[in-house]
Amino acid sequence: MISIVSPYINNIGGCIAIGAFSGIVSGIWLRHGYPKMNQNKPHDPLGLTGPILINAVFGAFGVGPLLMVAYRNIGLSLVELNASVKIT
């Protein structure tokens, strides 16, 4: 989840919150969704659907846009976040 928005996060609290959220999602999926999905026939024997696919979708379509909206609300733009120093 963090790789999508990592260039724009300017504090460690955001990284910790995203990691905690993805851990909770993975735990809920592996406790409830995974056993039901593989009850009769193993569709996902490695367990990659929940921890990887679901977290990647949440990161791409949830965390990234929410972070951009939050930064826009405090007055930061993508130009300010991507500022670089050129050495001539």
* Strand, coil or helix: 27: helix
Domain that holds residue 6: 2-81
- Could you tell me if residue 31 is inside a domain? yes
Q: What pLDDT score does 83 carry?
A: 58
Residues 6+ apart with CB under 8 A from 55: 1, 22, 25, 26
53 inside domain: yes
Interval 30-48: pLDDT, tens = 888 888 888 888 877 777 7
Rounded CA-CA distance 24/4 in Å is 19
Per-residue model confidence (pLDDT) at position 78: 65
Pair of tokens at residue 52 = 């990887």
Provide the residue type at 63 as one letter.
V
User: Does 88 fall in a domain?
Assistant: no
Q: Do the Cβ atoms of 68 and 4 come closer than 8 Å? A: no
Asked whether 38 and 45 are in contact (CB, 8 A), the reply is yes
Q: Is residue 86 part of a domain?
A: no
Q: How many domains does the chain have?
A: 1
pTM: 0.60
